[in-house]
Amino acid sequence: MAITNPLPAAFIESQVKLALLEDIGQQDLTAELIPADAEAHATLITRQQATLCGRDWFNSVFAQLHPQIQVNWLVADGDRLEADQVICELNGPARAILTGERTAMNFLQTLSATATVAQQYADAVAGLPVKVLDTRKTLPGWRMAQKYAVRCGGCFNHRFGLFDGILIKENHINAAGSIAQAVTQARQLHPDVAVEVEVENLDELQQALFAHADIVLLDNFDIDLLRQAVAINQGRAQLEASGGILLDNIRQIAETGVDRISVGALTKDIQAVDLSLRFQ
């Protein structure tokens, strides 16, 4: 399943540039042990099942280090990988490949980790009319990249930041005076932006529906309360379950009839995919 990367090349290049500066500084001292004219052939494999993400970042590392490095990909972002599967092959100057090895794999293993977790959650609700969404619980500086990885894994993006969506929470409600007043102010300030309200009980749900919120986030509702919320809502707003979502309970939550489920674990609770670059 190939996924088109919507992120601008300049954005990816800037991320990679900073990462290379962080790792190399002024020079790679160890790479100087290798003859300057030495050529290398290497293969990258995954040691575990995973969903791939991060090809463009990987490519950019080597493109910035040496124009003669060639990367031949055997899989695409969004593809499912088996343990010991060859992901790509590299050919070119040995020094530059060795210098870029760690940075390139850091990007690939981290983004593939997010895509892999997203794939697991997407698989868990397969066949049900629900969207699994990410949150803003991302690695600082990596939000756009991780949200791309979420899509590679088959899940969906919530708002990207505070700039592209309105989510009214408890403190906003207290400051505004009520749910109705908060929603009214949001409509007046940004009439073209969807308004979401986080609620903690059925009474607050009723208030959000009366105020005509577009989306209502049901914070830490148990299964019975979720079912009641769906019955009360009757399709008036999009309902989003959030809080305490795990792989072993997400399908049961989805079966209550909610429209969306937001999961911080997609980007927060990840473990890097185990990769290995082998020189031949």
Q: What angle do CA 111, 83, 134 make, to 5 degrees?
A: 30
Instruction: Pick the catalytic residue from 17, 39, 84, 102.
Output: 102
Q: Which of 80, 136, 137, 251 is catalytic?
A: 137
Catalytically annotated residue among 80, 136, 143, 169: 169
- Of the candidates 196, 198, 204, 259, the residue annotated as catalytic is 198
Locate 169 and state its tokens: 């929470």
224 is catalytic: no
Active site residue 102: yes
151 is catalytic: no
Catalytic residue among 13, 200, 219, 274: 219
| Catalytic (active-site) positions | 102, 137, 169, 198, 219
